[in-house]
Amino acid sequence: MDREEGKAEQNLLNLGAILANPKGGCHWCAVTEFLGQVPLLQCLPGSSIRRIADAVLVKRYEPGDYVAREGEPVDGLYIILDGQAEVSAPANTEEENRPDYVLNKYDYFGYGTNSSVHQVNVIAVSKLTCFVLPNQYGHLLQPKTIWNAEDTPENYSLLEQILHLEPLEVDIFRGYTLPGAPTFRQALAAASKTVDCLKVVHSLHAIFLIAGDNDLPIIYQVQRVRDGTSFATRKVEAKQKGLVVFTLFASFQKDELGFEHQAATMPDVPPPEQLLNLEEIRERRLTDPRFPMQYRNSAAKKKFVPWPIEMRFCEDSSSQHKPSLNYWFRARGKLSDDPALHRCVVAYASDLLYSGVSLNPHREKGLKTYSLSLDHSIWFHKPVKADDWLLYVIESPSAHGGRGFVTGRMFNRQGELVMSLTQEALIRRAKTPGQTAQTPRPKL
């Protein structure tokens, strides 16, 4: 056990003392952090876990006490905080088939029974402390999505649908690509759903191994590398057809006060209200007489699917050969108030045009290229709201050996540096018709 893990264990041991003396510590924070470690609850929105922390009761039992009796109703979901309880099979079960076993910290029972009778006896083996979520709060265990506790799917942003994952088992999720949408990046969402809601991602590093297939679902398997008092670390393997497509490492931190400075300065660019979005630019080009009629007719026939991210470019097309790019962006629609969701959305948006900046100095008429992400890193410096305007400042200081390197910085409208990013990508000329077809881009 390392020092941080030792602190985490000590923190959970101290939870009992905090419950006994609420004025002696942050009662609500301690309860919320504990509930965030219960596997049953980790796929819930952070808002649901916070409300559960407000609603749970504390019950204590002496050794030999019945916590639940066979044939009697239970009054809620029981989660063991401290101690052990024994589960015994119904009395009419044959002796050799009686599967008695012990429940420990984070284990639970009573889930899904509502007011129906309990099927087994649960008896305290030692001094036992349980959190109990009364049955009237059972709806908190059944949110609309993993991010949203109350609104219906029609009321939340498309990005919440994109970043929705289907929980298969503990720490295993499945993600789908919606038809007509850009490449998705769901691995960070998978990692975030296995960390208590008081910790948010502060850095991630992804390494892409083979090209993925956008037409197939991806299985995300999360490994809990470390859980400490202040930090947690997760490793995610994204798999298709049994093969690992890419690996992501993410580190999470609980909010704390500390030293602060910022040397980076936001560039002097026009505000987003003075700039055109992609749809407006497209409309102008379709009606601009300076463009050849053949080009305008061809562009009008192409199917246009708006991205779930709204972008407004700070420079016109005359600067497209520079190894740099500045643009404002934000998520379309209103996002749920979950800090983890907002960071997942910004991570999603960070790679839409990122690696292409390293190709800008090499663009010429008739040249077709393609790129594949090799690795991608992000550092989150400050809280971020993905449905508010953010300025993305991208530069490519180098390209060599078929690889392009880009760096990025994101600023909010107040000029605060909220994120720093780096990426290296494979950049090549597109293959000629007689060569092997281009492989799909992998997903972050």
Whether residue 118 has pLDDT greater than 80 = no
* Average pLDDT of the chain to the nearest whole number: 82
Q: Kindly report, residue by residue over 172-230, the tens digit of the pLDDT.
A: 999 987 654 544 478 999 999 999 888 999 999 999 998 888 888 999 999 999 998 89
Place of tokens 């994952």: 165
* Burial category of 397 from C-beta neighbours within 10 Å (exposed 0-12, middle 13-18, buried 19 and up): exposed
Please give the CATH topology (third level) of the domain spanning 4-140.
Answer: Jelly Rolls (2.60.120)
CA-to-CA separations, 357 to 63, 203, 322, 324, in angstroms, rounded: 66, 23, 8, 6
Q: Which two tokens stand for residue 53?
A: 């922390």
Q: Which two tokens stand for residue 208?
A: 């892409």
Beta bridge partner(s), residue 206: 248, 376
DSSP H or E stretch at residue 345: helix 339-349
Q: How far is Cα 213 from Cα 133, in angstroms, rounded to an integer?
A: 42
Q: How far is Cα 259 from Cα 110, in angstroms, rounded to an integer?
A: 46
Give the percent of the chain with pLDDT over 90. 45
Helix (H, G, I), strand (E, B) or coil at 388: coil
Output the 3-class SS for 131-186: EEEEHHHHHHHCCCCCCCCCCCHHHCCHHHHHCCCEEEECCEEEECCCCCCCCCCC
Q: Which two tokens stand for residue 191?
A: 């990692």
* Burial category of 404 from C-beta neighbours within 10 Å (exposed 0-12, middle 13-18, buried 19 and up): buried
Q: Does residue 75 or residue 23 have the better pLDDT?
A: 75
Q: How confident is the model at residue 48 (pLDDT cuts 50, 70, 90)?
A: confident
Q: How far is Cα 290 from Cα 406, in angstroms, rounded to an integer?
A: 33
Domain boundaries, the chain: 4-140, 158-254, 272-429
Q: Kindly report, residue by residue over 156-174, the tens digit of the pLDDT.
A: 778 888 888 888 988 999 9
Q: Which of 37, 47, 157, 423 is catalytic?
A: 423
Q: How far is Cα 329 from Cα 277, in angstroms, rounded to an integer?
A: 9
Nearest to 344 by CA among 144, 145, 141: 145
The number of helix segments (H) and strand segments (E) in the chain equals 8, 20
Q: Which of 186, 373, 387, 396 is catalytic?
A: 373
Nearest to 234 by CA among 246, 219, 252, 256: 252
Task: Please name the CATH architecture into which domain 272-429 falls.
Answer: Roll (3.10)
Q: Looking at the whole model, is its pTM more than 0.85?
A: no
Q: Which value, in Å, is the radius of gyration of the alpha carbons in the chain?
A: 26
373 belongs to the catalytic site: yes
Average pLDDT on 238-255 reads 94
Q: Given this model, what pLDDT does residue 13 score?
A: 44
CATH 3.10.129.10 corresponds to the domain 158-254: yes
Q: Given this model, what pLDDT does residue 167 score?
A: 87
Q: Which of 186, 351, 355, 358 is catalytic?
A: 351
171 belongs to the catalytic site: no
351 belongs to the catalytic site: yes
Q: Do domains 158-254 and 272-429 have the same CATH topology?
A: yes
Q: Kindly report, residue by residue over 304-317, the tens digit of the pLDDT.
A: 666 788 999 998 76
Give the percent of the chain with pLDDT over 70. 78
Beta bridge partner(s), residue 405: 398, 424
Q: How far is Cα 82 from Cα 414, in angstroms, rounded to an integer?
A: 46
Whether residue 382 has pLDDT greater than 90 = yes
Let me know: does 181 contact 162? Beta carbons within 8 Å: yes
Place of tokens 């992609």: 278
